[in-house]
Structure 1
Amino acid sequence: MVSQSPPEGRTQTPTRSATIKANYLVIYNTLSAVLWAVVLTRVAASAARDGFDKVYENVGETVKWTQTLAAMEIVHALLGIVRTPLTTTLTQVASRLNIVWPVLGFFPTDIRQSPAYTTMVLAWSVTEVIRYSYYARNLQGEPPAWLAGLRYNTFFILYPIGIASEMWEIYGALPDIAATSAGALGWWTALIEKAALLIVYPPGSYVMYTHMMSQRRKMMRGKKVRRN
């Protein structure tokens, strides 16, 4: 479920390039927070109004393209625009793109109507509204304590929900992927998805959790230093 570290600390006399980078990141993070807020609102409204089985039909395209925008974070990490570890960024972005494109997008299956799709997107969207809002605010000054608290505590609940929902979606799609009319493509895709469940998700989840725990410890140490 991408964990982005704040950019380099601001100096008192920022260079022109640093100012441009900071302004770009404020725009990117603000736009992303707004898009995920739209997703969150639409998913919650759709589930309440039409039920879980209609959420993908009503919101699936919006979710797909909103998540695809996050591929820019791989570029940010590669170019050093942010200090996020590339491995952490790839783990989360790739796992989500795998869900919204091949698993849900290319192979029509019943998992589109599964409650797990709704819980997955709700976990994603709440996480991302908080995360992107935190980074946008951090670039303009110290974020409020309540926002920092949400950023570094909600993952305890949201990550397990998101990860478990992703794995359920992949598992539920395997029979339909293997039986697709694409023949060999379906078989190889199903094999790759099985490998993702067995090989990628356990260590990937560990990477995400340890990264967030490390970030949380740094934040808590910073609070103690400021108090003293």
Structure 2
Amino acid sequence: MAGMLRPFVFWGQKNDSVSLKIDLRDVTIDNVNLTEDRLEACFEGVGAHGNNKYGFELDFYLPIDPDKSKVRTTDRAVEFSIKKKGAEVWPRLTEKQEKLPWLKIDFDKFAFEDEDDSEEDADKLAADEIMKKLEKDLEENQPPSIDMKATYIFTYNFLQFVGFLYIVIVLSYNFLKYGSAAKERAFESVGYQIMFCQTAAVLEVIHPLLGLVKTGAFAPLLQVVGRNLILFMLVLQDVRLQIAPVVWYLLMTWSTVELIRYPFYMFSSIGMDVKMITWLRYTAWIPLYPLGILFEGTVVIMSIPLFEESGKFSLQLPNAANFAFYFPWFLHAYLLVLALGGIQMMKHMHILRKKKLGSKDSLKKAA
């Protein structure tokens, strides 16, 4: 029985008998082997580990009389009335002095079938008391449950916060150390980090689709697609864009937004509302979002003549697909999409701000 689940066993005694109560509901007895010195028992029923097979073995402190011992099943337990061979109180139930976590003392001793019928009500009351104590014991010893969804969301937002914090620190340090020359090396300094963080941000489109967060997927989709287009299809493709000072401003703006947004979602995932972070989440966008749109638009405008020159991502006729695509025209159209999408995003944030902070948008009200 080494690998078998153990049920909770409550034991009590009188001078001439020992009582055992095995806490299993809807139980059937598979096997009981009771000898003078030992009890081995196997059951199938509903216990602390659900509907399963349970079993245990006990070596008695002193010999018992198996012929005069009894066992019965009820809806809520298996009950043993074990007759001692001698009339004396045992200092413990088991032969060896050992601590068995599943074996507990029943301080409210109860009667069995061989006692008077007049004590039946007392039996039920005692059994109810035992069940209440058992339930309380299970609640006290039950390990705290872990919300895996909240843990995952918290971890994701925390790691993204650390990533963007690193970007801000590096960009700021280089600027303080090298001055304006550091702006030309912004992408060289944190390019891999920003690309990793923005690639990971694709998960923010997947999270609402899987029901991991309550927000919609459309807003994060627009942001992820827009940023990744600027980052991977424009800046990454031409070193002349990478050394443009506007890229330093763009990366700083993006990262500053995320240094507020990710802690907000991080604490929200565990039910915490940090007033200062909440206020910043619904206020800092007012200057940062227009700046981000301005810098993104500047990068697009700067890239148009570069892609006209290189012809990259453009498809000219004749070709096997019989389809033409001129990437600079797409960039012209994207400028309009960027402006309209930015306006809609700011309207959306304004509505959320009014709902969250109210009509008075002071920090004092948020606090």
Q: Fold-level match, TM-score > 0.5?
A: yes
Q: Does structure 1 residue 74 correspond to structure 2 residue 211?
A: no
Partner Cα separation in structure 2 for residue 202 and residue 181 of structure 1: 25
Amino acid at match of 2:165: A
Q: How far apart, CA to CA, are the structure 2 residues paired with 1:184 and 1:150?
A: 42
Q: Classify 1:167/1:19 alpha carbon distance in 2 versus 1 (closer, same or farther; 3 Å).
A: same
Residue of 158, 171, 176 corresponding to 2:301: 171
CA-CA distance at 1:221 after TM superposition = 4.1
Contact 1:40 1:125 in 2 (8 A): yes
Change (3 A) 1:181 1:204: closer
The alpha carbon displacement at 1:79 in A equals 2.1
Aligned to 2:271: 141
Contact 1:77 1:89 in 2 (8 A): no
Deviations along 1:4-27, one digit per CA (max 9) or x if unpaired, are xxxxxxxxxxxx8x9221111001
Q: How many residues align?
A: 208
Structure with the higher fraction of residues in helix conformation: 1
Distance change (3 Å), C-alpha of 1:182 and 1:20:
same
Query: CA-to-partner distance for each residue in 1:195-215, whole Å, 9 max, x for gaps?
Result: 1112x1122112211221122
Tell me the alpha carbon deviations over residues 3-58 of structure 1, each in whole angstroms, 9 at most, x when there is no partner: xxxxxxxxxxxxx8x92211110011111111110111112223332421111122
Match of 1:210 in 2: 347
Paired residues of 1:33 and 1:133 also in contact (CA < 8 A) = yes
2:328 to 186, 190, 194: 190
Q: Specify the SS of the correspondent of 1:184.
A: coil
Higher relative contact order (CA 8 A, sep 6+): 1
Kindly indicate whether residue 288 of structure 2 is the aligned counterpart of residue 158 of structure 1: yes
The equivalent residue for 2:79 is: none
Of the candidates 235, 241, 257, which is equivalent to residue 111 of structure 1? 241
**Structure 1 unaligned blocks of 5 or more:** 1-15
Q: How does 1:54-65 map to 2 (within 5 A)?
A: 54-65=185-196
RMSD: 2.5
Choose the corresponding residue for 2:226, options 92, 95, 104. Answer: 95
Q: Give the alignment's TM-score, normalised by structure 2.
A: 0.53
TM-score (norm 1): 0.82
The structure with the larger Rg is 2
What is the distance in 2 between the residues matched to 1:122 and 1:35? 13
Deviation at residue 184 of structure 1 after TM alignment: 3.2
Letter of the 2:339 partner, please give it.
P
Q: What is the rounded CA distance, in whole Å, between the counterparts of 1:103 and 1:75 in structure 2?
A: 25
Deviation at 1:118, TM superposition (A): 1.0
Bigger fraction of residues in strand: 2
Residue 183 of structure 1 and its aligned partner are, at CA, apart by 7.3
Q: Is this contact kept in 2: 1:134–1:148, CA < 8 A?
A: yes
Deviation by residue 1:77-108 (Cα, 9 ceiling, x = unmatched): 22232222222111111100001110111x21
Q: Distance in 2 between matches of 1:179 and 1:65?
A: 29
Relative to structure 1, the CA distance from residue 188 to residue 216 in structure 2 (aligned partners, 3 Å threshold; closer, same or farther) is same
**Matches of 2:175 and 2:291, distance apart in 1:** 17
**Percent of aligned positions that are identical:** 27
Q: Do the aligned partners of 1:47 and 1:118 also contact (CA within 8 Å) in 2?
A: no
SS in 2 for 1:28: helix
The answer on whether the counterparts of 1:47 and 1:54 sit within 8 Å (CA) in structure 2 is no
Tell me the distance in 2 between the aligned counterparts of 1:157 and 1:53.
24
After TM superposition, give the deviation of residue 157 of structure 1 in Å: 0.7
- Structure 2 portions without partners, runs of 5+: 1-144, 317-324
Supply the AA of the counterpart residue of 1:134.
F
Alignment of structure 1 residues 17-28 onto 2, 5 Å: 19-28=147-156
Are 2:293 and 2:339, in contact at CA under 8 Å, matched by a contact in 1?
Answer: no
